[in-house]
């Protein structure tokens, strides 16, 4: 008897994205074209390709931070398949709250809010009792080697590596069915990279579907079930950072 494959939790169909530079005569910069990607529960797919190929743009599109020019992003949300690109804004907020977690390279928080509260906030917003959420936040901060003396301080005062670890704890505090990870280990030492690998493995074991970018080859080999090549279509897919910043302004 064949074992049934895990269900597809996230699917991109015919996804295309370009940026238009309105201050430069409407020049159009293509990023990727006709992306087809399916991610099953319990697997980690690593986006792979040269710098500037569009990996982060694809990841942000999967989170609806960017709106692709064409295609669909289908996500299994509360037992229903929802097209993230056709969803109403309130639906996108709910999908992010309950279904899709995102760990970016940068921590954006309200000044003067302590690290413990920053980490606990998504769990509380998701309905977890405050005491349980803070206990879970303490566990994650401890695992990621954030000293207890820093828990009451605003992460804006932390080093880059400390901020990244707070960001990771915040991203993993809710058991999201889908996780998007944009270079979560970029500024971390070996011990904390190993902890992130453990957290990813734990998320996979509870059937989370994960899409990530990992430039660290050792981490990538440790967590990837498969690679998804992006950026090989043409040299035009490499978007200069300055041009991208202008297009997104």
Asked whether residue 107 is assigned to any structural domain, the reply reads no
Asked whether residue 74 is assigned to any structural domain, the reply reads yes
If one counts every other C-beta atom within 10 angstroms of the C-beta of residue 112, the result is 9
Question: Which structural domain range is residue 22 located in?
Answer: 1-99+224-249
Asked whether residue 33 is assigned to any structural domain, the reply reads yes
Instruction: Assign residue 233 the CATH number of its domain.
Output: 3.40.50.300
pTM (predicted TM-score): 0.88
Asked whether residue 147 is assigned to any structural domain, the reply reads no
Asked whether residue 53 is assigned to any structural domain, the reply reads yes
Of the candidates 216, 215, 179, the residue with the CA atom closest to the CA atom of residue 200: 179
Asked whether residue 22 is assigned to any structural domain, the reply reads yes
Asked whether residue 64 is assigned to any structural domain, the reply reads yes
- pLDDT per residue as tens digits for the range 52-108: 889 999 999 999 999 999 999 999 999 999 999 999 999 999 999 999 999 988 777
Asked whether residue 157 is assigned to any structural domain, the reply reads no
Cα(130)–Cα(124) distance, rounded to whole angstroms? 6
- pLDDT for position 182: 94
- Beta partners for residue 77, in sequence order: 80
In total, how many domains does the chain have?
Answer: 1
- pLDDT per residue as tens digits for the range 168-199: 999 999 999 999 999 999 889 999 999 999 99
CA torsion angle for 81, 83, 89, 94 (degrees, to 10)? 30
- pLDDT per residue as tens digits for the range 3-47: 567 899 999 999 999 988 877 777 888 889 999 999 999 999 999
């Amino acid at each position: 008897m064949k074992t049934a494959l895990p269900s597809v939790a996230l699917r991109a169909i015919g996804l295309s994205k370009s940026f238009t530079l309105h201050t430069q005569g409407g020049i159009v910069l293509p990023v990727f074209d006709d992306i087809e990607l399916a991610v099953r529960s319990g697997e980690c797919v690593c986006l792979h390709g040269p710098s500037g190929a569009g990996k982060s743009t694809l990841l942000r599109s999967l989170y609806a931070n960017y709106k692709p020019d064409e295609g669909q992003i289908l996500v299994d949300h509360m037992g229903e398949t929802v097209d993230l690109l056709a969803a109403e804004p309130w639906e996108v907020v709910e999908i992010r709250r309950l279904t899709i977690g995102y760990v970016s390279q940068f921590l954006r928080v309200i000044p003067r809010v302590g690290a413990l509260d920053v980490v606990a906030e998504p769990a509380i917003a998701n309905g977890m009792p405050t005491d349980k959420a803070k206990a879970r936040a303490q566990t994650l901060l401890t695992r990621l080697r954030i000293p207890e003396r820093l828990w009451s301080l605003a992460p804006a005062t932390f080093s880059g590596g400390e901020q990244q670890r707070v960001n990771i704890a915040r991203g993993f505090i809710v058991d999201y069915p889908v996780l998007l990870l944009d270079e979560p280990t970029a500024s971390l030492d070996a011990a904390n990279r190993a902890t992130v690998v453990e957290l990813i493995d734990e998320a996979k074991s509870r059937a989370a579907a994960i899409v990530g970018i990992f430039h660290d080859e050792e981490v990538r080999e440790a967590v990837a079930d498969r690679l998804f090549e992006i950026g090989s279509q043409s040299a035009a897919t490499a978007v200069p950072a300055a041009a991208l910043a202008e297009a997104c302004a």
